[in-house]
Every structure is written in structure tokens, then in C-alpha cells.
Amino acid sequence: MRPKEYKLKRILDLSMILGGFIFPLLWPFWLIVIFVVPPLIWLEDRGPIFYSQDRIGKNKKIFKVMKFRTMTPDAEKITGAVWSKKDDPRITRIGRLLRITAIDEIPQIINIIKGEMSFVGPRAERPELHEKFVLEINDFDKRLEVTPGLSGLAQIKGSYDLEPKEKLKFDMEYSEKMSLFFDLKIILTSVFNSLSARWDRPDR
């Protein structure tokens, strides 16, 4: 993707955010996200509504990502940073629903507005896990040549608990094919997956 296309990609990101907020048919969705989801998260265990976490982005820039909390409070206090897996017992009941529908990712719109993320790109990884995978997997660092995304090729073709080596293959494929048309295709597929809420797939 050439510099001009990177600028168009940025314009696409911001246009989608603006369009999503002003499109009348989406207002019921935003009302649910703002007024229904937070109370449900809090009522389950009286814990925090949001969860902030360090992630590593393009050119190794560390930034804070914000998500709706989907795990029990202090889930990593004992285990530390661990790779996500299917049927993780730390995931709450409402958290499982939020992951399946990808609603837990909505607060990351703030990161997109700030330019730390895009709607499409490799998934932003935890810095400590990234450093671990770099030592184990050749060229894992190449993922950081592209701005991380809210969704991506690995998310729509694989699963949340996809092995790092397999995820790298999808990320490299995206990097080679990256274009506005390809981004739009991934975005539409991601929306379809969230709306269809495929309950038989691993947790997102």
C-alpha cells in the first residue's frame, strides 16, 4: 500500500466512525452499547466495566487499548499474560456474549480516532507475549510494519485462539494484499460474522 493509500485508509477509518454515529438505523445499537452493556457487566460481579491493557503497535509503539471487560476482575493477577484459549474459565457469562458478537471491542474506536489502530490490520499483541513469540517464530516482528486493526484476516479466517505461527501467516498475507478494497471486504465479513453470532466458533 502506497503512502497515498495509507492516507485514504485513514480517511476510511474516520469516515466509518462518523457514519456509524450519525446513521439513524444504528442508533438503537449505540443505545444498547451505552446504556445496557455497562450495567450488565457491572451487575454480574460488581467489577470494573472497562479493561485497559498495554499493546504493541506499528513500529513497536506501545499504547493503551480499552475494551469492555469480559473476564473476572484481576483475571491475570496470578497467571500473568497468557495466550487466549477456547472455553477460558476466566470469561464471564456476559463477557462470552460480548466476545462472540465483538461488542467488547467497541471502545477501541478511541484508539482508531487517535491513529493507534485501524479498522483492519494485524491484531495488536501484548508486548510481553510479542517478545516471547519473536524469540520462537521467525519474522514475527514483521507484523509491526502495519498498523494493528480492530479486525483482520486472521480474525475472519481463523479463531481467537489461533496459534501465533498460524496467525503470522494470515498477517503476512494481509500485508501483501493490503488495499482499500481488501479492507472493505474484511470489514463486511467481520460485520456479517458479528451479526450472525456464530455460537459454535471459539471465543473471539
User: Where exactly are the structural domains of the chain?
Assistant: 3-196
Average per-residue pLDDT for the chain: 88
Q: What pLDDT was estimated at residue 80?
A: 64
- Burial code (b: 16+ CB inside 10 Å, e: under 16) for 16-47 equals beeeeeeeeeeeeeeeeeeeebeebbeeeeee
Q: What pLDDT was estimated at residue 19?
A: 94
Please say if the pLDDT value at position 52 is more than 60.
yes
Q: How far apart are CA 83 and CA 81, in angstroms?
A: 7
Looking only at the bridges linking them, the beta strands covering 50-56 and 62-68 are antiparallel
The sign one gets for the Cα dihedral 50, 53, 58, 61 is: positive
Could you tell me which residue, 62 or 83, shows the higher pLDDT? 62
Determine contact, residues 63/55, Cβ cutoff 8 Å: yes
Determine contact, residues 9/183, Cβ cutoff 8 Å: yes
Please say if the pLDDT value at position 109 is more than 50.
yes
* 74: confidence class by pLDDT, cuts 50, 70, 90: confident
**This model's pTM is above 0.75:** yes
Say which amino acid occupies 191. V
Determine contact, residues 161/123, Cβ cutoff 8 Å: no
Could you tell me which residue, 37 or 160, shows the higher pLDDT? 37
